[in-house]
Amino acid sequence: MKNIDILIIGAGISGAVLAERYASIGKRVLIIEKRNHIAGNCYDYIDENGILVSKYGAHLFHTNEESVWKYVNQFSNWYPWEHKVVARVDDKTVPIPVNITTVNRLFDTNINSEEEMKNWLEENRIAIESPSNGEEAVLNRVGPVLYEKMFKHYTKKQWDKYPAELDASVLNRIPVRYNYDDRYFSDTYQALPEGGYTKLFENILKNPNIEILLETDYFDVKDQYKGYEKLFYTGPVDRFFDFKHSLTEKLEYRSINFVSETVEAEYFQENSVVNYPGTEVDFTRIIEYKHFGNQKSDKTTVVCEFTVDDGEPYYPVPNPRNEEIYARYKTEADQLVDVHFVGRLANYKYFNMDQAFKNALDLFETLENKDKTNYKT
């Protein structure tokens, strides 16, 4: 066994950032990764149609965090990409998040100002002071008709739970717009890495102080690795503790079954992502990767997403029941010295890519007590 200072489990965002940070201060880092590739769920590759596709679903980077934006720009050029999503509802195609166009198309209204939109929402919404779950959050914003058409069944397909069974925060990810803004996000920085995320990760992990062991399950080899200064674990928290608090009540995760198809046409659909919030199909959305970065190919790759219970865990399921089970693991995790739980699965939190970058950077700063803005340029 070689001498290592820092052992990291998982080569996704959290693992890669911590590896890069520790390597930059001269630590010898070993990353143990179960899959046969780096980049976690951001992993992308050029497929048989010559199109850059993401193996685990589209990843749209957006952030208001100056420090995160500065950090990721060290490792890739980024081109501006303001993501848009449309939804097929009642044989119509409408923007999501709900904006003026969404309402006009679905209800044949003629709204054309912010004030009229606010009035329409006021007439339709059910005011709920502090929404305690996803259903109340949506009813409070847009009311029951849009709830039924755009949120209720999509959420059931995505989570196998109705919005009432999920925290308000899940549905609050989607805002409502009083104007014609049809962008999915409104952050200051919205961009994609030139050449893709895998290249970005290769660059983050370039330091020779970093060694990566792919296709290795940490739990099969952990006895071989002792004597390190710190361990960073980015896998599912319950797995770390051998599921000891989940014997009767399992911590829930959602996975996605991606069904990919080549279509012999220039384009299949008019937008990168088309959501299907109704009950007429079982999938949640169709992604056409060619749209990202306006890629060229005489064919096109489309991927239908079916969210499922079994399979690799992608999403924690935020609700009080799971929070309670997670709290039992967290209490134990907090007692471990020099073992740190980082990222979506280890923290059992549904956060975005930029938050994953930020959490890992912040953890490094806290542990090493370094000046936040002191990144190499």
Q: Which two tokens stand for residue 242?
A: 């051998």
Three-state DSSP class for 45? strand
**CB-based contacts of 268, cutoff 8 Å, min separation 6:** 286, 288, 300, 302
Give me the least distance between CB of 183 and ligand UDP, in Å please: 13
Residue number, 243 or 351, with CB nearest to ligand UDP: 351
137-176 residues near ligand UDP, rule: CB under 6 A: 150-151, 154-155, 158, 170-171, 173-174
Two structure tokens written together for 178? 């009083």
Nearest distance from C-beta of residue 140 to ligand UDP, angstroms: 14
The CB-of-72 to ligand UDP minimum distance in angstroms stands at 19
Nearer to ligand UDP, 87 or 100 (CB): 87
Using the rule CB under 6 A, which residue among 10, 95, 277, 343 binds ligand UDP?
277
Tokens of 293: 């970065």
272 binds ligand UDP (CB under 6 A): no
Q: Which is nearer to ligand UDP, 37 or 156 (CB)?
A: 156
> For residues 61-100, which are near ligand UDP according to CB under 6 A?
87, 96
Q: Which residues contact 24 (CB under 8 A, 6 or more apart)?
A: 207, 376
From the list 185, 189, 188, the residue with the least C-alpha distance to 72 is: 189
* Closer residue to ligand UDP, CB minimum distance, 86 or 121: 86
Among residue numbers 205 through 264, which ones bind ligand UDP (CB under 6 A)?
Answer: none
Hey, what's the torsion of the CAs at 69, 72, 76, 80, to 10 degrees?
-30
CB of 275 to ligand UDP, least distance (A): 4
Question: Least separation, in Å, of the C-beta of 70 and ligand UDP?
Answer: 25
Q: How many residues bind ligand UDP (CB under 6 A)?
A: 13
E strands, the chain, in order: 6-9, 29-32, 44-46, 52-54, 61-63, 78-80, 85-89, 92-96, 189-193, 210-213, 230-233, 253-263, 273-275, 285-288, 300-308, 315-316, 339-341
Classify 130 in phi/psi space as left (phi over 0), alpha (psi -120 to 50) or beta: beta
In angstroms, give the least distance from the CB of 301 to ligand UDP.
Answer: 19
* C-beta closer to ligand UDP: residue 107 or 243: 107
User: Counting contacts by CB under 6 A, is residue 275 touching ligand UDP?
Assistant: yes
Return d(Cα 234, Cα 229) in angstroms, integer.
17
Residues that bind ligand UDP (CB under 6 A): 87, 96, 150-151, 154-155, 158, 170-171, 173-174, 275, 277
